[in-house]
Amino acid sequence: MKFTPTRPAPLPAPLSALALTAVLLLAACGGEYGGEYGGIQAEPKAARQTIAPLIDEEGNVMPSDPSAVPVDPGAQTRARRYATAAQAEQLEHAMGGHVISIEVGNDADAAQAVDLAVMYAYVLETVQKVGNDAPVLVRGTDLRRAATLANRLQEHGYSRVFLVSP
Considering the domain boundaries, does residue 3 fall inside one? no
DSSP letter for each residue of 50-91? P---SB-TTSPBPPPPGGGS-SSGGG--SS--EE-HHHHHHH
Lowest mean pLDDT among 29-38, 97-106, 121-130: 29-38
Residue 23 and residue 74 in one domain: no
Considering the domain boundaries, does residue 53 fall inside one? no
pLDDT, tens digit, 9 for 90 and up, residues 110-137: 888 899 899 999 899 899 899 889 999 9
Residue 26 and residue 79 in one domain: no
- Percentage of the chain beyond pLDDT 90 is 55
pLDDT at 37 exceeding the cut of 60: no
pLDDT given at position 1: 52
Considering the domain boundaries, does residue 23 fall inside one? yes
- Reported as a pLDDT band with limits 50, 70 and 90, residue 50 is confident
Vertex 23, ends 20 and 26: CA angle to 5°? 150
Residue 96 and residue 151 in one domain: yes
Residue 84 and residue 122 in one domain: yes
- Reported as a pLDDT band with limits 50, 70 and 90, residue 35 is very low
Residue 19 CA to residue 15 CA, distance in Å, equals 6
Considering the domain boundaries, does residue 2 fall inside one? no
Q: What is the mean pLDDT of residues 84-103?
A: 93
Considering the domain boundaries, does residue 145 fall inside one? yes
Lowest mean pLDDT among 7-11, 71-75, 162-166: 7-11
- Reported as a pLDDT band with limits 50, 70 and 90, residue 78 is very high
Residue 35 and residue 79 in one domain: no
Vertex 83, ends 82 and 86: CA angle to 5°? 170
Residue 71 and residue 151 in one domain: yes
Residue 41 and residue 94 in one domain: no
Sheet holding 100-103, edge to edge: 82-83, 161-164, 136-139, 100-103
Residue 89: give the domain boundaries.
66-164
Residue 26 and residue 85 in one domain: no
Pair 102, 149: CB distance under 8 Å: yes
Residue 78 and residue 31 in one domain: no
Residue 86 and residue 32 in one domain: no
Q: How many domains does the chain have?
A: 2
Residue 81 CA to residue 161 CA, distance in Å, equals 7
pTM, two decimals, is 0.69
Residue 27 and residue 92 in one domain: no
Considering the domain boundaries, does residue 136 fall inside one? yes
Residue 89 and residue 155 in one domain: yes
Lowest mean pLDDT among 22-26, 81-85, 97-101, 158-162: 22-26
Strands 136-139, 100-103: parallel, antiparallel or unpaired by DSSP?
Answer: parallel
